[in-house]
Amino acid sequence: MSVAAQPAAASSKVLGDLYARNAKSVMWRGYTATKTNTYLVIVSGFFEPVFYLLSMGIGLGALVGTVATTTGQEVPYAAFIAPALLAVSAMNGAVYDSTWNVFFKMNYAKLYEGMLATSLGPLDVALGEISLALARGALYAAGFMAVMQALGLNLAWSAILALPAVVLIAFGFAAVGMAITSYLKTFQQMDWINFFMLPMFLFSATFYPITVYPEPIQWIVQALPLWHGVELVRGLTTGALSTALLGHALYYVVMIAVGLVVTTRRLRHVFLD
């Protein structure tokens, strides 16, 4: 066969066989699958944080009164926990989509095996799956923010920026979640993810200021990703804008980068050995 048959364009592609610029076909698959199956799962994801907000924010809030944010601003208890719940729901949705869903598709449905037998590359699969999780997360976030607005819990104009912030948070968790999942082989290992998530949800300055902890504990909490998400969203909805918010956002940018690199490598290793 002649050498001239080699396509010239292929050798100049930066990402080589990792990316075919067709992540949208993977998203479209997810959209079609969702449309084919029940909407119920989608709806339940919206109500969970709303129930938390009503029971704790309104109920418990009547006993608590006001709470001081990181910048010292006194806000009603409901306005204190609402942004945290928003960050938590972004985390939960992204982690569920990128761990349990991905685990099943990788190991049981053999979905990725089929995708990677086509001209798709592993980065198309990773980006497509994660983008879909983000679209869903953004939908929940928009719904929840509407509830916050109705209850008067958005205290500043910057609250609108919480929406892209939530997508950023979800992106970070989804990228890292998918990377971790690609290493896991059994359902028992998957349980470790829940084991890590629940305490993070409860102790990341979600329901009370971080200052209640002794300093060493504060360091641990500040090292974990959810605290950065909670602080970022809370800063935006309460209007406590500072450069610290940029630091929190950067934390997620790093998560996204590391997560995508590891996920792409792993998918390549597992399916294109």
Residues found near other proteins in the complex (CB under 8 A): 1-2, 5-7, 10-11, 17, 20, 22, 25-26, 28-29, 32-33, 36-37, 109-111, 113-121, 271-273
Least distance to other proteins, CB of residue 37, Å: 6
State which residue, 221 or 270, has the beta carbon closest to other proteins: 270
Least distance to other proteins, CB of residue 36, Å: 6
Least distance to other proteins, CB of residue 268, Å: 10
Two tokens, residue 118: 């086509």
State which residue, 2 or 186, has the beta carbon closest to other proteins: 2
State which residue, 118 or 194, has the beta carbon closest to other proteins: 118
- C-alpha triplet 161, 75, 232: angle, nearest 5°: 30
Instruction: Write the CA distances from 30 to 121, 174, 217, 239, integer angstroms.
Output: 17, 15, 41, 36
Classify strands 74-76 and 66-68 as parallel, antiparallel or unpaired. antiparallel
Two tokens, residue 218: 């504060």
Residues 6+ apart with CB under 8 A from 159: 145, 148, 149, 236, 237, 239
Two tokens, residue 147: 């509830």
Among the listed residues 87, 112, 99, the one whose alpha carbon sits nearest the alpha carbon of residue 192? 99
State which residue, 29 or 265, has the beta carbon closest to other proteins: 29
State which residue, 215 or 273, has the beta carbon closest to other proteins: 273
Q: What are residue 76's DSSP bridge partners?
A: 66
